C-alpha cells in the first residue's frame, strides 16, 4: 500500500542585527566563549530587556515577505523550561499573539508552483550553547552564552508538504526569501538557519493513520532530507507490519544516519506560557508599516517569472540569475545600459561566472561595473569582436580595470571580417589541406570543418566563423575540376 506523506517544517533563522535582542551585546560569530555577554543576557536578577528595533523590523519584513496577516499590536510571552544554556529558566518568545499569522510562500516543484501555508512567524530569543566535552574521563559540560539573547525568527509551516522534494524546495525558497529581504544571512555552518520537521504517514483518504513524529537537531538541508527519507522508510515498515506509529519527538543522529526517540507525547513539556511583564505591547502604526512594506524587495519566485515572461529568458537562466539577489541586481544593472536580455544573460552566465568561480569571489566582489559589461556585450553584438575575443577582453578588464573599447584596440582583438583580409588566409588553408578539399569536393560536406578550423587558427580566433564558412564554400564550389 502507498501511504500519503505529510510534512511540516519549523525553521529558526538568526536575524541580521549587530546587537542582541534585549541588550547591546555583539552578535558576531566565532568570538571566545562568554565574551559577548552582559547582566541582561546572563539573566541576572534585576536586569531588564529593551527591544532591539532593527530585530523587530526584520521580523515584520519577514512576515510581510511570507504573505502573513500582521498582528499590528503584539506582545511577548515567557516559555518556561530548565536547561543550563538558558540562564533565566524561561525563553522570551511569542505564543498568544504571533507577529505574523496565516501566510504562505510559493515554491517551485517540477515546473509548477505550489502554495505552502505559513501558520505563524514570530520573534524570540536564542539560547546559549552547551558543549559536551568529549574526551575519556571527562565528567563535565561547558556552556557558552555568546548566543544567548540573539534575535531569532521562528517560521512554522502548515503540514502542506507531501514529499521530500516538496520539503527541499520549501527550504531553498525560504532561504532565498530570507536572503533577498536581508532578514538573515542564512549561514548554515554558523547555525544561522536550523530546522525541525514533523512527519506522519496516512492511508489514502485517512487523516490520522500514523502518529505525528517530530524530529529535532537538523542543522542542514541535507540532514532534513536524509532524516525525512529515513522516517518515511521506518514508518512505512511499522504500518505495513500492522504496528502503530507513536506520537513522539525524535532526535536525528547525523553521523549514524538514524533517528532516536527523545520523548513521547506523555512526556511533552508544559511550558506554562505567560505574557512577559518586562516588555511593553508593541504597536505598528500605518506609517511604519508602509515603510517596512516598501523595504521588502521583489522576491525570487516573482522575479524569476518576470525574467521568463518579460525578458524572454529560459527557465534555467532565469533560475540561476535570480538565485542570488546581488546577481539578479547586477544583471538588471547591465540591462539599464544595454537592453539585450539574452546576450547579457549569456555573458553573465558564462564569462562572468567563470571568472567568479576561478577567483572564488561573489558578484559583490566583482570589480567590473555594469556599464563596462554592457559596453562589452555591445562590442560583441556589433561583430567588432568574437565571443572568444570577448572572453579575453573581459579577463583583461578584471586585471587592468580598463574599459572594453580601449582594450579591444590595445590587444588588437578587433575581429577580422573583411573579405580582403580573409582571402589570403583561405587560400593558405586550402593549399595546406588538400585531403579535406578533395573530400569536400567528393561530397563529404563535413570536411569543411577542418578547413574552417585552420582559418580560425590562422586568425587566432578573431574571424567570424560564419563569414569564413561562406567564403570557403564560395571558393571550394567555384574550383575547377
Residue with cell 529593551: 50
Cβ 7 vs Cβ 167: under 8 Å: yes
In sequence order, what E strands does 27-68 have?
Answer: none
Nearer to Zn ion, 24 or 470 (CB): 24
Q: Does 375 bind Zn ion (CB under 5 A)?
A: no
The span of 24-32, 319-327, 367-375, 418-426 binding Zn ion (CB under 5 A) equals 24-32
**Interface of this chain with Zn ion, residues 305 to 364, rule: CB under 5 A:** none
Q: Does 51 bind Zn ion (CB under 5 A)?
A: no
Nearer to Zn ion, 86 or 321 (CB): 86
Interface mask (CB under 5 A) for Zn ion, residues 405-444, using x and -?
----------------------------------------
Cβ 423 vs Cβ 409: under 8 Å: no
Nearer to Zn ion, 25 or 397 (CB): 25
Residue 351: DSSP 8-state: I
Nearer to Zn ion, 103 or 151 (CB): 151
CB of 312 to Zn ion, least distance (A): 52
Contact residue for Zn ion among 9, 23, 116, 458 (CB under 5 A): 23
d(CA 88, CA 86): 6
Q: Does 25 bind Zn ion (CB under 5 A)?
A: yes
CB of 19 to Zn ion, least distance (A): 8
Residue 412: DSSP 8-state: T
**Interface of this chain with Zn ion, residues 28 to 47, rule: CB under 5 A:** 38, 40-41
Nearer to Zn ion, 25 or 70 (CB): 25
CA distances for 45 relative to 23, 38, 58, 87, angstroms: 15, 12, 29, 10
Determine the size of the site formed for Zn ion (CB under 5 A).
Answer: 5
What is the separation of C-alpha 475 from the centre of its chain, rounded to a whole number of angstroms?
A: 54
Cell for 17?
A: 542585527
Nearer to Zn ion, 49 or 404 (CB): 49
Nearer to Zn ion, 34 or 340 (CB): 34
How crowded is residue 431: how many other Cβ atoms within 10 Å of its Cβ? Answer: 9
The span of 25-33, 87-95, 302-310, 322-330 binding Zn ion (CB under 5 A) equals 25-33
Cβ 77 vs Cβ 109: under 8 Å: no
d(CA 300, CA 292): 18
CB of 334 to Zn ion, least distance (A): 44
CB of 273 to Zn ion, least distance (A): 24
In three-state secondary structure terms, 441 is: helix
* Burial of 152 (C-beta count, 10 Å sphere; 0-12/13-18/19+): buried
**Interface of this chain with Zn ion, residues 63 to 102, rule: CB under 5 A:** none
d(CA 147, CA 39): 14
The span of 20-28, 93-101, 258-266, 374-382 binding Zn ion (CB under 5 A) equals 20-28
Cell for 73?
A: 499590536
How crowded is residue 355: how many other Cβ atoms within 10 Å of its Cβ? Answer: 18
CA distances for 262 relative to 126, 266, 271, angstroms: 21, 12, 17
Nearer to Zn ion, 45 or 204 (CB): 45
Nearer to Zn ion, 41 or 161 (CB): 41
CB of 38 to Zn ion, least distance (A): 3
- Binding interface with Zn ion (CB under 5 A): 23, 25, 38, 40-41
Amino acid at each position: 500500500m502507498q501511504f500519503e506523506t505529510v510534512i511540516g517544517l519549523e525553521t529558526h533563522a538568526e536575524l541580521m542585527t549587530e546587537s542582541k535582542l534585549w541588550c547591546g551585546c555583539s552578535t558576531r560569530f566565532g568570538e571566545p566563549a562568554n565574551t559577548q555577554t552582559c547582566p541582561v543576557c546572563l539573566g541576572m536578577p534585576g536586569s531588564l530587556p529593551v527591544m532591539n528595533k532593527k530585530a523587530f523590523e526584520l521580523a515584520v519584513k519577514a512576515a510581510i515577505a511570507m504573505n502573513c496577516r500582521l498582528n499590528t499590536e503584539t506582545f511577548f510571552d515567557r516559555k518556561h523550561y530548565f536547561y543550563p544554556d538558558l540562564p533565566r529558566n524561561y525563553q522570551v518568545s511569542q505564543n498568544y499573539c504571533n507577529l505574523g499569522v496565516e501566510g504562505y510562500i510559493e515554491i517551485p516543484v517540477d515546473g509548477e508552483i505550489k502554495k505552502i501555508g505559513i501558520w505563524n512567524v514570530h520573534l524570540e530569543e536564542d539560547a546559549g550553547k552547551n558543549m559536551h566535552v568529549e574526551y575519556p574521563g571527562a565528567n563535565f559540560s561547558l556552556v557558552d552564552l555568546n548566543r544567548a539573547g540573539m534575535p531569532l525568527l521562528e517560521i512554522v509551516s502548515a503540514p502542506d508538504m507531501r514529499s521530500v522534494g516538496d520539503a527541499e524546495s520549501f527550504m531553498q525558497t525560504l532561504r532565498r526569501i530570507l536572503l533577498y529581504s536581508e532578514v538573515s544571512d542564512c549561514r548554515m555552518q554558523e547555525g544561522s538557519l536550523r530546522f525541525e520537521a514533523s512527519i506522519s504517514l496516512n492511508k489514502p483518504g485517512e487523516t490520522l493513520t500514523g502518529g505525528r513524529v517530530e524530529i529535532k537537531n537538523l542543522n542542514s538541508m541535507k540532514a532534513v532530507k536524509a532524516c525525512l527519507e529515513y522516517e518515511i522508510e521506518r514508518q512505512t515498515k511499522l504500518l505495513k507490519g500492522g504496528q502503530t506509529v507513536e506520537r513522539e519527538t525524535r532526535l536525528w543522529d547525523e553521523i549514524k544516519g538514524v533517528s532516536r526517540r527523545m520523548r513521547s507525547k506523555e512526556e511533552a513539556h508544559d511550558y506554562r506560557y505567560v505574557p512577559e511583564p518586562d516588555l511593553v505591547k508593541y504597536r505598528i502604526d500605518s506609517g511604519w508599516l508602509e515603510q517596512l512594506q516598501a523595504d521588502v524587495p521583489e522576491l525570487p519566485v516573482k522575479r524569476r517569472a518576470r525574467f521568463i515572461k518579460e525578458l524572454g529568458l529560459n527557465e534555467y537562466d532565469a533560475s540561476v540569475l535570480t538565485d542570488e539577489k546581488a546577481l539578479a541586481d547586477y544583471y538588471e544593472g547591465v540591462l539599464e545600459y544595454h537592453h539585450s536580455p539574452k546576450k547579457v544573460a549569456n555573458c553573465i552566465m558564462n564569462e562572468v561566472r567563470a571568472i567568479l568561480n576561478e577567483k572564488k569571489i561573489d558578484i559583490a566582489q566583482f570589480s567590473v561595473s555594469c556599464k563596462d559589461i554592457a559596453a562589452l556585450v555591445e562590442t560583441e553584438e556589433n561583430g567588432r569582436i568574437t565571443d572568444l575575443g570577448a572572453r579575453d577582453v573581459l579577463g583583461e578588464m578584471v586585471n587592468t580595470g580598463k574599459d572594453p573599447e580601449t582594450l579591444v584596440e590595445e590587444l588588437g582583438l578587433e575581429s577580422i571580417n573583411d573579405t580582403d583580409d580573409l582571402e589570403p588566409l583561405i587560400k593558405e588553408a586550402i593549399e595546406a589541406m588538400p585531403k579535406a578539399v578533395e573530400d569536400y569536393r567528393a561530397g563529404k560536406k563535413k570536411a569543411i570543418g577542418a578547413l574552417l578550423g585552420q582559418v580560425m587558427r590562422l586568425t587566432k580566433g578573431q574571424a567570424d566563423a560564419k563569414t569564413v564558412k561562406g567564403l570557403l564554400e564560395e571558393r571550394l564550389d567555384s574550383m575547377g575540376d
